[in-house]
A and B are shown apart, each in its own frame.
Chain A
Amino acid sequence: MTTALAESSPVHVRAQQLLARLRSIVGDESVLAEQAELLVYECDGYTVEKKCPDVVVFPTSTEQVQAIVQICNEFDVPFVPRGAGTSLAGGCLPIGGGVMIALTRMKRILEVNLRDRYAIVEPGLVNVHLTQHLKGSGYHYAPDPSSQGACTIGGNFATNSGGPHTLKYGVTVNHVLGAEVVLPDGSVIQLGGTVEDVPGFDLTGLFVGSEGTLGICTKVIVRLTRDPAAFRTMLGVFETVSDATRAISEIIGAGIVPAALEMMDQGIVSALEQAFQFGFPLDAGAVLLIEFDGLEVAVDEEAQRITALCSQSGAREVRQANTPKERQLLWKCRKQAFGAIGRLSPSYCTQDGVVPRTKLPEILEFITDCGQRHGLRIVNVFHAGDGNIHPILLFDERDAEQVQRVLLASDEILAKCIELGGSVTGEHGIGVEKISFMDKLFSPEDLAVMKSIRDCFNPTGHCSPGKMLPTSAGCGNEHLPKTKPGRRAAL
């Protein structure tokens, strides 16, 4: 345990009792409590704030999750679910310490029913494993976050993840039929089902995206989507970012809904080139990765229309992937963009904001200015068709002053998103990172209703404390400098 209290102190004794109880549920090997082992769990993909949990447990069944939650309640300690820990908003940060419930060992595919187009999976299943499992069946699981090689379906459920193909196919919630959840009081509940339109409120829809604050998801029933009959993948090369954004507006304005429409700016393209030598033009201001899918009879015609619209908007060239291999290469570079950033900088902060698509030129210009003002390098790779930006701010974590500039610049960019009629998160969630934005996006009334909802399911607040909703509305804590938390030790 992390507490440095004397062994005879009541707190210490209680902590030992808690550990013993947890071990009796999941076995010794599935409980981590040594400082060195816990270090891995001090943060997720959001590395600005860190805090070790007091214990990490690895249940393998719903019953075990239930027992763990009941024990936490009995001992009055907070608990937080964790999937793969790829959250970029600090969703897994164990505020107040306590028990981290890692779901990565619950990773079975329980059922695939192609006739009725659903699958039932455990929450720790890695997203891409479901896709691989379905290969050749004519069906797939549509949400495809760029992190799909690592992130879990449970994490996707909790954050309502999107991905490049969200533009046409929607986000996680559009593909979830139901779930099994261990509620914060330790009861198990079935939401939705394998059938549509279960009578009652759409609690499934409410729980998706609730960032672990309403309970721990132990099973997900997902809808399977028919594979596209045919697709065409294109790469539009533009002199400037504003030409590229104009092309997006023209394509959408023409009534075409591509399956995916992703933008990469010069900064990211050159990093990718250094890393993988994909053969991208280094002097282009921006490239658009466009995928269109539909019927074989229609895709070529649409591809021509898209090419023409890109050219009208000033594209220097539009390349088309002519073989599956070429297509794969284009997507590989998009999905590895984050990996390539390691070459540019020791640390980086991926922001997530949304603007109406027609406001993309404005926000991108603002980001460039903002980077210059703060002396930061910012590169962009994002879901342009949805207006979902991901400016990546490069910095060195060891330089505290730089970290402050990154936080400041991030805040300015997000504030601008709100000003342009957008949101501060399109897919990564509020977590701890964006809590101070909630009262800028929502009124006290909005937040009060959300709080009633949380209180209804999570009255003690032990489940994922300190996430998503500001604790005391309107306290203006955005002016306080962000620090490393460690706000209150639970044990």
Chain B
Amino acid sequence: MSALDFTPATQLELSRFVAENAQDGRRTLCPVGGRTALQYGYSAPAPGTYVSLGQLNKLVDYPARDMTITVEAGIRIDALQQALAVERQRLPIDIPQRERATLGGALATNTSGPRRFGHGTFRDYVIGISAVDAEGRLFKAGGRVVKNVAGYDICKLLVGSRGTLAIVTQVTLKLRPLPETSAQLWMTIDSFPAIEQRLERLLTSQARPAAIEVLNPAAAALIVRSARCELPVDAPVLCIGVEGSAREVDWQLETLTQELSTTGLQECRRVREHEADRIWEALTEFQTCADDPLTFEANLRPSQCMEFARRATQLGVAVQVHAGNGLVVGQLLEEAATIDKTTAVLNELRGLARVHGGNLVVLHCDAQWKSHLPMCGDPEPSWGLMKQLKQKLDPHGLLNPGRFVDGAMSL
């Protein structure tokens, strides 16, 4: 059965449509933005109705001096960032495929990238939200001011909820000034343990990096190629990003070079200007750039990451580590292309992540594999409670059913 499409022009139209659907028909609804992350979660979107937010893309209010903006959820990320750049502001979250991805989609998948170390994630920037629930009620939470504790913070609940609790229609964001410039320090280092020593040194660095990335040679090669840069990739890479005024950036590069030039360092390059921009972009795109069969994300304690990366490298995985936050994005390369091999690799790596309460989720894989893999990772202790909440807010299971924790429970 093929899916229908509905593209509302206004939030009210959407609200009416969903209300009618809840009354009769009760088709399942799959909110879509830029269609960049639809494959997330357990099952492929169930046949039902695709609700496209493409036309809900207006800028509602941008009081630049208050450093907030209110926009409809279907706005494309590049359009949003361009509007902000005019006022020398930004939403400091790295989002891949920004010419396609919408704010609503990025928010629903809680997308982030390398600079989450310095700036945080969606939960730190969404201060107000409007959404349509499964019954068609258009509701809001939060507001338009940067500080507000009135009522439950439903903004937090909807960030990362993958369209399973409500369809987000409008968002108010807190903003930050655009930095004057940025740069990276790109170091190839003998081994992962030698990088771990540097990560520990960075904990008390005089600099204040915006990103601390570690790449194994396979990932580094992919990133350098997509950024069209000439940088060494023949050993594990520690890539540290800094932002600020030209003076701050220079000073930090200098300081970091001194602090980190200890044993095990092979090469150290400074990446600047346009090259630095392209590296940021490649680091951001890594999570979605794969032609390969599977991309996963593991969350662990930062101190475990290098051991994890070492093992993943042995298993033939290309890994990017947001080392300050303990997040690892891995791409299984072509060789691992059977389901048995893949399962074995994922099980081992998930086991490593589980040791200190981490987990491993699949971001992207062959649709036919989904039913064989724990897409959302091992069950977390609070999933039962989450399932209750899903049931309370969407009793008929109309919004992206089976895609997230509700799907996980039935495995």
Contact = CB atoms under 8 A, between A and B. Distances in A.
A453 interface: yes
A422 B356 CA distance: 42
Contacts of A252: 65, 67
Interface in A158-198: 159-160, 162, 166, 170-171, 173-174, 183, 189-191, 193-198
B82 interface: no
A234 interface: no
B137 interface: yes
Interface string B274-302: 00000000000000000000000101111
A456 to B, nearest CB: 4
A159 B149 contact: yes
Interface residues of A, number: 88
A203 B385 contact: yes
Contacts of B157: 201-203, 205-206, 453
Interface string A444-471: 0111111011111100000000001100
Contacts of A229: 206, 208
Given A449-B137, A452-B392, A456-B389, A195 B147 contact: no
Most-contacted residue by chain B among A115, A138, A195, A355 (CB, 10 A): A195
Interface stretch (B213-221, B341-349, B357-365): B357-365
Give the bracket for the number of chain B residues in contact with chain A.
35 or more
A110 to B, nearest CB: 15
Contacts, number: 252
A356 B145 contact: yes
B247 A208 contact: no
A441 B143 CA distance: 9
B326 A383 contact: no
A174 B120 contact: yes
Contact of B124 (A113, A170, A249, A428): A170
B388 interface: yes
Interface in B307-350: 325-327
A387 B145 CA distance: 8
Nearest to A168: B176
A199 interface: yes
A247 interface: no
Interface stretch (A268-276, A294-302, A311-319): A294-302
A436 to B, nearest CB: 12
Interface of A: 113-117, 138, 159-160, 162, 166, 170-171, 173-174, 183, 189-191, 193-206, 208-210, 226, 229, 249, 252-253, 255-257, 294-298, 301, 354-358, 383, 386-388, 421-430, 434, 437-438, 441-443, 445-450, 452-457, 468-469
Given A200-B383, A442-B140, 10 more contacts: A195-B301, A197-B110, A198-B359, A201-B389, A253-B65, A296-B206, A301-B247, A386-B145, A445-B139, A453-B152
Interface of B: 63-68, 88-89, 110, 120, 123-124, 133, 137-141, 143-157, 159-161, 165, 176-178, 200, 203-204, 206-208, 244-245, 247-248, 251-252, 297, 299-303, 325-327, 356-359, 361, 376-377, 380-383, 385-386, 388-389, 392-393, 404-405
